[in-house]
Amino acid sequence: AHARVLVVGGGYGGATAAKYLRLLSDQKVEVVLVEPNDAFVSCPISNLVIGGSRTLADITVPYAGLSTFHGVRVVKDTVARIDPTARKATLGSGAVVGYDKLVLSPGIELMFDGVAGLREAQLQGRVLQAWKAGPETVALRRQLEAMPDGGTYVLTIPEAPYRCPPGPYERACQVASYFKAAKPRSKVLVLDANPDVTSKGALFKKVWAEQYGGMVEYRPQHKAVAVDAAAGRVKFEIQDDVRGDVLNVLPPQRAGAIAVQTGLATANGRWCPVDYLSFESTAARHIHVLGDAIQIAPGMPKSGHMANSHAKVAAAAIVAELNGWAPNPAPMLTNTCYSFVDAKNVVHVASVHEYVAAEKTFKTVAGSGGLSTAPNEMEGRYAWNWARTIWADALA
Ligand code: FAD
């Protein structure tokens, strides 16, 4: 019988891994992908749904390509438990799936307990995150539509590392773009637990100052510790409370719950250290962890592009091991993150990361970086094509 790889999570990391395991093994490895959602919904571009220039349908891709074109067995379910010793996973349905190798790309868990009152406010639908694209993305858009002109949208950002370093700043631009057109007396207030804008700082600050005038206010070193949804207030560790009409509070994050539960998140109890040659967990053999859930090397962002890159290195390492081939001794990763500052104009940051054997880690290749000089429409077209290309790469 051929080896079986169980892939947990059909997001950027998992979907790519499932497809490339089939391609690289010449369809010989059996691949089972377990994912609870009906379709893939992309976080990249989802800020445009909040800004109003795109819809959820624009960022949704079916899983059918993986089964039809690549013979991946796609199971709509959740993995409830993993037994790394017996190499078995138990699904929500109770079904038990044995595996030779397991690929785990569960994304992030939002740590609601990190902000007092947030879990309850979230359950009531009053304070949203929309940090996993889907119905909540649309719900946040509705809150902004319902907000009267002259209101304040408050976005709080947790300490790094979190999913998508430039994502919150892009979102601030998108909301400002909507307000500028529809509610010009309104305000965007960004409260960042970090000492400064974590990514593309000078570019974002220029856009806020020049394109959006006084509409966007940015305050660093504001760590949110509590919310009072009824009063529309956010409380901070040190500074005074702020009041807002729409509160978008992003709590601290860690590896997806199943990774933590399986005992793989041994870095501060939050992220999963891996052997960067194969992305195999350092805590459990035969389990390869990808994407946002891993403990990153310096300079590696938690991005969809990175998760896609991890997946290819891991898939190649798994197929090599199953065939008794020597692993690739020098894998490389690439990353480009585009940010839309309005419906059309975009800035990007790019990097290349190489495995350095002597230090067993990835390092940014000197001189490989790229950064826009100013937002422009050409990069807006590149960004949209980047999205369509990576969705096809992972799912078609
Ligand atoms: P995900 O893509 O989140 O996939 C995880 C999957 O696992 C989900 O489908 C989930 O349902 C499933 N899952 C979880 N637990 C289980 C379980 N127990 N059993 C079965 N399935 C499970 N990145 C970029 O590269 N470019 C961008 O422009 C960009 N923009 C962004 C904008 C926003 C607003 C946000 C929030 C993120 C953005 N990102 C961007 C980051 C990107 O979305 C993530 O880095 C990427 O999704 C990580 O991939 P992943 O596979 O780790 O997790």
CA distances to 16, 35, 104, 187 from 78, rounded to whole Å, are 18, 6, 12, 40
Residues with CB under 6 A from ligand 1: 8-14, 34-37, 43-44, 46-47, 78-79, 105-107, 131, 163-164, 167, 256, 258, 291-293, 302-305, 307, 337-338
Model confidence at 70: pLDDT above 80: yes
A 10 A CB-CB count for 47 gives 27
Would the pTM count as exceeding 0.95? yes
Model confidence at 241: pLDDT above 80: yes
Atom 53 of ligand 1, nearest CA residue = 107
Residue 88 amino acid letter: K
Main-chain dihedrals φ then ψ at residue 45, nearest 5 degrees: 80, -15
Atom 46 of ligand 1, nearest CA residue = 304
Selection from 214, 240, 213, 210 nearest residue 225 by Cα: 240
Atom number of ligand 1 nearest to Cα 79: 19
User: pLDDT per residue over 4-47, tens digit each?
Assistant: 999 999 999 999 999 999 999 999 999 999 999 999 999 999 99
- What's the whole-number mean pLDDT along residues 303-329? 97
- Most informative mutation of 97, 164, 173, 300 for ligand 1 (most atoms within 8 A of CB): 164
Quote the pLDDT of residue 105.
98
Give, rounded to a whole angstrom, the gap between the first and last alpha carbons of the chain: 27
CB 18 within 8 A of CB 33: yes
Q: Note the ipTM here.
A: 0.99
CA 314 to centroid of ligand 1, rounded, Å: 17
Which residues does residue 254 pair with via DSSP β-bridges, in sequence order? Answer: 109
CB 66 within 8 A of CB 19: yes
Q: What is the percent of the chain where pLDDT is above 90?
A: 97
User: pLDDT per residue over 178-194, tens digit each?
Assistant: 999 999 999 999 999 99
Quote the pLDDT of residue 386.
98
Number of C-alpha atoms within 13 angstroms, CB side, residue 341? Answer: 24
Model confidence at 215: pLDDT above 90: yes
CA 162 to centroid of ligand 1, rounded, Å: 12
Q: What is the mean pLDDT of the chain?
A: 97
CA 78 to centroid of ligand 1, rounded, Å: 15
Helix ranges (DSSP H) in the chain: 12-24, 46-51, 64-70, 118-123, 135-146, 167-182, 201-210, 257-261, 304-323, 377-395
CB 159 within 8 A of CB 264: no
User: pLDDT per residue over 337-393, tens digit each?
Assistant: 999 999 999 999 999 999 999 999 999 999 998 999 999 999 999 999 999 999 999
d(CA 143, CA 244): 12
Quote the pLDDT of residue 198.
84
- What's the whole-number mean pLDDT along residues 56-75? 98
Model confidence at 138: pLDDT above 80: yes
Quote the pLDDT of residue 369.
86
- Most informative mutation of 12, 32, 34, 37 for ligand 1 (most atoms within 8 A of CB): 12
User: pLDDT per residue over 111-124, tens digit each?
Assistant: 999 999 999 999 99
What band does 301 get if pLDDT is binned at 50, 70 and 90? Answer: very high
- Most informative mutation of 37, 43, 157 for ligand 1 (most atoms within 8 A of CB): 43
Tokens, residue 374: 């100013």
CA 8 to centroid of ligand 1, rounded, Å: 12
Atom 10 of ligand 1, nearest CA residue = 9
CA 149 to centroid of ligand 1, rounded, Å: 33
What band does 199 get if pLDDT is binned at 50, 70 and 90? Answer: confident
Atom 14 of ligand 1, nearest CA residue = 106
Quote the pLDDT of residue 269.
95
